[in-house]
Amino acid sequence: MENRSLGAQGLSVSAVGLGCMNLSAGYGPPPAREAALGVLERAVECGVTLFDTAEMYGPYTNESLVGQGLRRVRGRVVIATKFGFDIPPGGGRPSGVNSRPEHVRAVCDASLQRLGIETIDLYYQHRVDPKVPIEEVAGTVGDLVRRGKVRYFGLSEAGPATIIRAHAVHPVSAVQSEYSLWSRGVERAVLPLCRRLGIGFVAYSPLGRGFLAGAGANLPAGDYRHTQPRWQGAALQANLALLAAFAALAEARRCTPAQLALAWLLHQGADIVAIPGTNKVRKLEENVAAAGISLSRDDRAAIEAAVPHDAVMGERYDAVGSALLDH
């Protein structure tokens, strides 16, 4: 597996990482714990070194799972987790964001305990908190770095102004935002800014939350995607119509649509890392194999013609989720 640098501070990870969220929750019922641990073990065997979790996933249970699954290979992997939400005591959807310095310090200690590690490799602010100046957040994480509790600082779904202000206080190694053929908004300003500042980019939901891998109208009950505009009504039907041409391109290349989508993303720049999520070993192996697919300029043009950047219908998030995005 090819390694890629994130930022200028020395962080190096596999080109394809693993988004761990749906090992615990999110896209339908989670797998049994032993099966989830098996996915983590197989990911390491396949050369994956970046594992992405968050206190929010579960909540809390995902960090414990990831910590257990990676304990024996701790020196070979990079563990990323996130802070920044107010999570109700009983779990469930967060009541809001919270990046007050005292909260960041407290949840860092809690994440370290759940993960069973001494240092978080990459610590992201999960969502920007408009009530706390980003300079205070960056300074707080910088202090955690100096104290040895964190190695590298990241931002998730941050807008250009926030990235610039944070980076001026403490170096940002990675910005994580949704990016795929299905969601290309970061190309306008965020990705060019990251390149100008020397910040790496981590693409979450690189398969369009599974849409580009063939997930469609038949989602399981309780699946988080039922609540999102792109997966509802006329928007879903319009989006499904995009898949036929794309699937034909994948068939012609003798790969799966998921692999073609990941290969396209990895060809957008050597500073981009993808973290597709899955709770199945077979899908994990399929995703990892995408790192070995080479695409010509004509291939990339055909892919983008099949899924034009302005053809996808519906917002990425519902109103509550959209309100948490920084612009």
In what side-by-side order are the strands of the sheet with 150-156? 18-19, 50-52, 78-83, 120-125, 150-156, 172-178, 200-204, 272-275
Q: How large is the angle between the packed helices 101-115 and 134-146, nearest 10 degrees?
A: 40
Structural tokens at position 121: 């490799």
**pLDDT score of 80:** 98
The phi-psi region of residue 96 (left if phi > 0; otherwise alpha if psi is between -120 and 50; otherwise beta) is left
pLDDT at 172: 98
| pLDDT cut 90: percent of the chain above it | 80
> What are the pLDDT digits (tens) for 173-221?
999 999 999 999 999 999 999 999 999 999 999 999 999 998 876 787 7
On the question of a cis peptide bond just before residue 59, with omega within 30 degrees of 0, the verdict is yes
Check whether 29 has a pLDDT greater than 90: no
Question: pLDDT by residue (tens digit) across 54-68?
Answer: 999 999 999 999 999
Kindly tell me if the per-residue pLDDT of 112 is higher than 70.
Answer: yes
Question: Which of 57, 124, 152, 179 is labelled catalytic?
Answer: 57
- Answer yes or no: 57 catalytic: yes
Over range 219-242, report the average pLDDT. 86
pLDDT given at position 217? 66
- Tens digit of each residue's pLDDT (9 = 90 or more) over 120-178: 999 999 999 999 999 999 999 999 999 999 999 999 999 999 999 999 999 999 999 99
List pLDDT tens digits, range 237-281: 988 888 888 999 999 999 999 999 999 999 999 999 999 999 999
Delineate the domains of the chain, giving CATH numbers in brackets: 3-322 (3.20.20.100)
pLDDT tens per residue across span 285-302: 999 999 999 999 999 999
User: For residues 138 and 102, what is the distance between their CA atoms, to the nearest angstrom?
Assistant: 13
Kindly tell me if the per-residue pLDDT of 95 is higher than 90: no
